């Protein structure tokens, strides 16, 4: 039986990032059967030509929302899943055309899969960084089978925030039932930082994070290496941000 894939993208107040996200999704060699987009921005998105598999869900922001609302948005998304494989797509990150296909293939053999040693790239400054972490993947580069979703109820934190959700998920599920891999030879994902709009949860959103040594060359050699197919799109974004 053919696998059914659900992609989940929490978003809000990042119009440029989401515009790029739609481009990366349209380019996927394996399209998701369902793309849940949970929007809780102060300004609701206006989607002129949404992709056919997109299911837009509006969560109105509340006065008592935590600073980061990832968990609240995931709690809305999980009951709406129709696929048997689930892949998280962050709105402001880069996903190569074969990303969903590669993740889906690995989910045939494992309940949870993810890319370790995440790579960060700060567009305005050219700062870059690759993590040494080999114990879990960020949620942005994680996929899991729908059989894992009931276990999320055991790892939500108490105040509705989003602290260490990826770590807790991998600690609970991944060590015995998962696969972590690295995408050095076939770059699949890059955590993009510095796009305009609401700031995300993790580190790397300011140029200070990268120091003076991890700085890309004037012609953006690292960006070209880590995004071999679509770097020109980001070069255009960088030029427009000046």
* Total-model pTM: 0.95
- How many Å apart are CA 169 and CA 147, to the nearest integer? 13
CA distance 178 to 146: 13
Task: CATH number of the domain at 229, please.
Answer: 3.90.550.10
Burial status of residue 154 (CB atoms within 10 A of its CB: 0-12, 13-18, 19 or more): exposed
Please give the C-alpha separations between residue 179 and each of 87, 112, 114, in angstroms, as whole numbers.
14, 6, 7
Strands 54-58 and 85-88: unpaired
pLDDT tens digits, one per residue of 111-142: 999 999 999 999 999 999 999 999 999 999 99
Q: Which long-range contacts (CB under 8 A, 24 or more apart) does 64-68 make?
A: 65/40, 65/160, 66/159, 66/160, 66/161, 66/162, 67/161, 68/161, 68/162, 68/163, 68/200, 68/201
Q: CA nearest 237: which of 90, 13, 17? A: 17
Helix (H, G, I), strand (E, B) or coil at 142: strand
Look at residue 207 in the predicted model and tell me its pLDDT: 83
**Residue span of the structural domain in which 158 resides:** 5-241
Rg, C-alpha atoms of the chain: 17
Name the band, by pLDDT with cuts 50, 70 and 90, for residue 148: very high
> What is the band of 163 on the pLDDT scale with cuts at 50, 70, 90?
low
CB atoms within 10 A of CB 116: 19
Q: How many domains does the chain have?
A: 1
pLDDT in tens, 21-37: 999 999 999 999 999 99
H-helix or E-strand spanning residue 57: strand 54-58
Could you give the 3-state DSSP secondary structure of residue 15?
A: helix
How high does pLDDT run on average in the chain? Answer: 92
At residue 201 the predicted structure's pLDDT band, cuts being 50, 70 and 90, is confident
Task: Decide: helix, strand or coil at residue 42.
Answer: coil
């Amino acid at each position: 039986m053919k696998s059914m894939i659900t992609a989940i993208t929490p978003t809000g107040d990042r119009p440029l990032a989401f515009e790029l996200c739609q481009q990366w999704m349209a380019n996927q060699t394996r399209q998701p059967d369902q793309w849940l987009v949970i929007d809780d921005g102060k300004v609701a998105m206006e989607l002129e030509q949404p992709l056919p598999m997109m299911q837009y869900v509006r969560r109105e922001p509340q006065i008592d929302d935590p600073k980061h609302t990832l968990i609240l948005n995931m709690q809305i998304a999980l009951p709406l899943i129709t696929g048997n494989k689930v892949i998280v797509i962050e709105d402001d990150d880069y996903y190569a055309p074969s990303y969903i296909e590669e993740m889906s293939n690995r989910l045939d053999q494992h309940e949870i899969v993810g890319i370790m040693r995440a790579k960060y790239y700060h567009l305005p400054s050219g700062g870059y960084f690759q993590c040494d972490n080999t114990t879990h993947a960020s949620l942005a580069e994680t996929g899991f089978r729908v059989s894992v979703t009931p276990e999320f109820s055991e790892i939500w934190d108490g105040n509705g925030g989003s602290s260490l959700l990826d770590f807790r998920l991998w600690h609970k599920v991944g060590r015995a039932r998962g696969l972590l891999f690295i995408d050095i030879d076939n770059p699949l994902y890059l955590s993009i930082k510095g796009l305009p709009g609401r700031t995300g949860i993790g580190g790397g959103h300011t140029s200070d994070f990268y120091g003076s040594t991890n700085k890309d060359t004037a012609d953006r050699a690292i960006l070209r290496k880590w995004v071999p197919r679509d770097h020109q799109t980001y070069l255009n974004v960088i030029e427009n941000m000046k």
